[in-house]
């Protein structure tokens, strides 16, 4: 299918929407700070602090996610208990939730009026002036990635090798470090690379939770562009961000390629926890998952319901601005999903047929992961000033950030496919297009649905691109939430929470409609998602 001119479509899209804006950022940064002045960022105490804090908060999140995620993954992979399948499905729930919803969930817990934040503030501990809010938000979003990667990795550990180690006298702890850990480490490193990229290039969480003191590089770039019009300095910072995140993305692509087709092994059988100590460990593991990954969402639901019943929540839902934002959100996300699906399919199929160039073309799908939404929007703003605030550019930017989920999911599924069904169809006279439509596509359809579900959730919750490239009348739910948060008073916070609940339900509905749980359970092993 993806031969000849069809391969030009995703290549041209990436060139115009990703590569060209990056080159424009490079030119802007070099013009603002030519030669050795380009390194002057590291000599500026303020900007160096922003850069170092951006790296530090991403690294701290990785350490916390690994420290919590590995034990939790071991419990889920090795023990059988009632509700285990539900827990595994709920693991991806935070990743589907838009960033602004997650930020409001953290504020509902630890903010000045939050469940835990208000009592602590009365005791003199104001968490809004600490990095805790941002780190907790990062952990909420990314712990599930590490846990899921750990579960998938542990299920690939050979039971024969572990049994051999135990028969030679190794303790369970020694068998883990000598046999299991070397097998799962590449999977976890792959997930941690993705966690680092999400935290380093994250914008919504850092903008809402970091404040001025703990603002990251992305927030500083937005401030320089939107409030100070310092495009040159913003360009220099954006280039440094791309260089730092690009090295991590390259490592991630290499690790993902190594994990693309795991060998067939006989995994260790799961056992039921025995004894009070193991049951206590299971309870602590589930409690940790609930506190980190579910409690912020529960806080949003309860606070929003409280506003709906006893406050002005119903008036917020009936507000014409809310209806306009809802319509725009659905319209933009729907158009972006169609474009992202087409591009993802073409990209994955092209990488499959590219032979020796397949690795490079596969790595190109991760380019939008390397480019933060702020960098994408800023680059497009500089490169296509006449197209800013036009619908095609806005939808294309949405699709750029969403289609890697489709390409990655389809690419992993294609790596798992046996070659003989397509060969048999071709032998019987089917054209390449018919082989793809009648043989390959039905086999990768579960992976396609999964990729589309994540792409839809990404498009519905997109925030940074909307701030840069949309018109005032193109208000979306994310930008409306941001406006409400910018107003003082408890009523504005309640309105933001109600809108966050609406956006969360919208993202979950899209995810469940595209990839229903029953269908996902039947096809989970078809194309595993390592991260």
Task: Render pLDDT for 455-494 as a digit per residue (tens, 0 to 9).
Answer: 888 888 888 888 888 888 888 999 899 888 878 777 888 8
Write down the pLDDT at residue 222: 83
Rounded to whole angstroms, the Cα distance separating 478 from 374 reads: 15
Q: Write out pLDDT tens, residues 486-527.
A: 787 778 888 888 898 999 888 888 877 776 765 555 444 333
Q: What is the percent of the chain where pLDDT is above 70?
A: 84
Mean predicted confidence (pLDDT) in 100-109: 88
Write down the pLDDT at residue 517: 63
Structure tokens at 39: 């390194």
Q: Is 103:110 a contact under the CB 8 Å cutoff?
A: no
Range name among 57-61, 127-131, 355-359 with the lowest pLDDT average: 355-359
Class of domain 327-472+505-525: mainly alpha
Q: Which residues, 6+ apart, have CB-to-CB distance to 289 below 8 Å? A: 72, 87, 91, 143, 147
Structure tokens at 97: 């939730």
| DSSP state for residue 271 in the 8-state scheme | B
Q: Is 348:1 a contact under the CB 8 Å cutoff?
A: no
User: Does residue 56 register a pLDDT over 90?
Assistant: yes
Rounded to whole angstroms, the Cα distance separating 425 from 419 reads: 11
Rounded to whole angstroms, the Cα distance separating 280 from 83 reads: 16
Query: Which residue ranges make up each domain of the chain?
Result: 57-95+137-157+185-289, 327-472+505-525
Q: Write out pLDDT tens, residues 259-318.
A: 655 455 677 778 888 888 888 988 998 999 889 888 998 989 998 888 888 877 788 888
Rounded to whole angstroms, the Cα distance separating 378 from 225 reads: 8
User: Does residue 111 register a pLDDT over 50?
Assistant: yes
Mean predicted confidence (pLDDT) in 369-391: 82
SS (H, E, C) 298-332: HHHHHHHHHHHHHCCHHHHHHCHHHHHHHHHHHHH
| DSSP state for residue 179 in the 8-state scheme | I
Strand stretches in 163-282, DSSP E: none
Write down the pLDDT at residue 114: 81
Q: Is 474:324 a contact under the CB 8 Å cutoff?
A: no
User: Does residue 248 register a pLDDT over 60?
Assistant: yes
Phi, psi (degrees; rounded to nearest 5) at 130: -125, 165
SS3 helix, strand, coil % of the chain, rounded to 5?
Answer: 80, 0, 20
Across-strand partners of 79? 271
DSSP state letters, 69-128: HHHHHHHHHHB--TTHHHHHHHTTHHHHS-HHHHHHHHHHHHSTTSTTHHHHHHTT--GG
Task: Please tell me the number of Cα atoms within 13 Å of 129 on its side-chain side.
Answer: 5
Residue 438 pLDDT class (50, 70, 90 cuts): low
User: Does residue 381 register a pLDDT over 50?
Assistant: yes
Phi, psi (degrees; rounded to nearest 5) at 271: -125, 160
| DSSP state for residue 515 in the 8-state scheme | S
Write down the pLDDT at residue 530: 34
Across-strand partners of 271? 79
Write down the pLDDT at residue 524: 45
Tell me the angle at which helices 490-514 and 441-460 cross, rounded to the nearest 10 degrees: 170
User: Chain centroid to CA 136: how far?
Assistant: 16
User: Does residue 417 register a pLDDT over 80?
Assistant: no
- Residue 286 has a CB neighbour count (10 Å cut-off) of 17
> Cα separations (Å) of 436 from 35, 277, 439, 528?
51, 53, 6, 21
Residue 429 pLDDT class (50, 70, 90 cuts): low
Helix (H, G, I), strand (E, B) or coil at 417: coil
Write down the pLDDT at residue 246: 74
Residue 355 pLDDT class (50, 70, 90 cuts): low
Rounded to whole angstroms, the Cα distance separating 497 from 512 reads: 22
Phi, psi (degrees; rounded to nearest 5) at 131: -80, 0
* Mean pLDDT, the chain, whole residue set: 80
Residue 256 pLDDT class (50, 70, 90 cuts): low
Of 69, 55, 102, the C-alpha closest to 201 is 55
User: Does residue 61 register a pLDDT over 90?
Assistant: yes
């Amino acid at each position: 299918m993806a031969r000849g001119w069809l391969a030009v479509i995703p290549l041209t899209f990436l060139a115009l929407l990703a590569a060209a804006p990056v080159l424009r950022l490079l030119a802007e940064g070099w013009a603002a700070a030519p030669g050795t002045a380009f390194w002057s960022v590291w000599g500026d105490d303020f900007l160096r602090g922003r850069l170092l804090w951006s790296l530090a908060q991403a690294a701290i999140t990785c350490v916390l996610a690994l420290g919590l995620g590995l034990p939790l993954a071991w419990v889920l992979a090795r023990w059988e208990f009632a509700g285990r399948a539900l827990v595994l499905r709920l693991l991806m729930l935070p990743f589907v939730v838009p960033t602004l919803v997650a930020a409001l969930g953290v504020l509902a817990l630890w903010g000045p009026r939050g469940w835990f934040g208000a009592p602590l503030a009365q005791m003199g501990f104001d968490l809004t002036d600490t990095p805790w809010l941002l780190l907790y938000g990062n952990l909420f979003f990314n712990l599930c990635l590490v846990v899921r990667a750990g579960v998938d990795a542990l299920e690939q550990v050979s039971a024969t090798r572990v049994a051999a180690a135990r028969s030679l006298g190794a303790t369970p702890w020694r068998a883990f470090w000598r046999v299991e850990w070397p097998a799962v480490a590449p999977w976890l490193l792959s997930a941690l690379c993705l966690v680092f990229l999400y935290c380093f290039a994250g914008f919504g969480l850092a903008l809402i939770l970091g404040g001025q003191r703990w603002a990251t590089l992305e927030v500083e770039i937005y401030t320089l562009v939107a409030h100070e019009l310092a495009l040159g300095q913003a360009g220099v910072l954006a280039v440094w961000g791309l260089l730092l995140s690009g090295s991590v993305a390259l490592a991630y692509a290499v690790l993902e390629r190594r994990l693309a087709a795991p060998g067939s092994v006989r995994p260790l059988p799961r056992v039921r926890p025995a004894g009070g100590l193991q049951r206590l460990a299971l309870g602590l593991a589930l409690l940790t998952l609930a506190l980190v990954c579910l409690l912020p969402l529960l806080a949003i639901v309860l606070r929003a319901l409280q506003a709906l019943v006893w406050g002005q929540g119903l008036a917020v839902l009936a507000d014409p601005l809310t209806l306009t934002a809802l319509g725009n959100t659905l319209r933009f996300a729907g158009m972006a999903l169609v474009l992202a699906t087409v591009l993802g399919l073409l990209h994955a199929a092209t990488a499959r047929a590219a032979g020796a160039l397949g690795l490079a073309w596969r790595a190109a799908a991760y380019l939008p992961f390397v480019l933060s939404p702020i960098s994408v929007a800023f680059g497009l703003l500089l490169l296509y000033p006449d197209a800013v605030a036009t619908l095609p550019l806005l939808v294309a930017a949405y699709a750029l950030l969403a289609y890697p989920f489709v390409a990655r999911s389809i690419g992993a599924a294609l790596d798992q496919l046996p070659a003989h069904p397509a060969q048999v169809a071709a032998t019987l006279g089917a054209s390449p297009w018919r082989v793809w439509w009648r043989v390959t596509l039905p086999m990768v359809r579960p992976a396609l649905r999964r990729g589309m579900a994540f792409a839809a959730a990404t498009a519905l919750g997109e925030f940074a691109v909307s701030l840069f490239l949309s018109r005032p009348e193109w208000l979306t739910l994310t930008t409306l939430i941001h406006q409400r948060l910018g107003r003082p008073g408890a009523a504005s916070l309640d309105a933001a929470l109600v809108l966050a609940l609406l956006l969360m339900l919208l993202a979950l509905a899209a995810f469940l409609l595209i990839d229903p749980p029953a269908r996902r359970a039947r096809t989970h092993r078809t194309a595993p998602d390592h991260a």
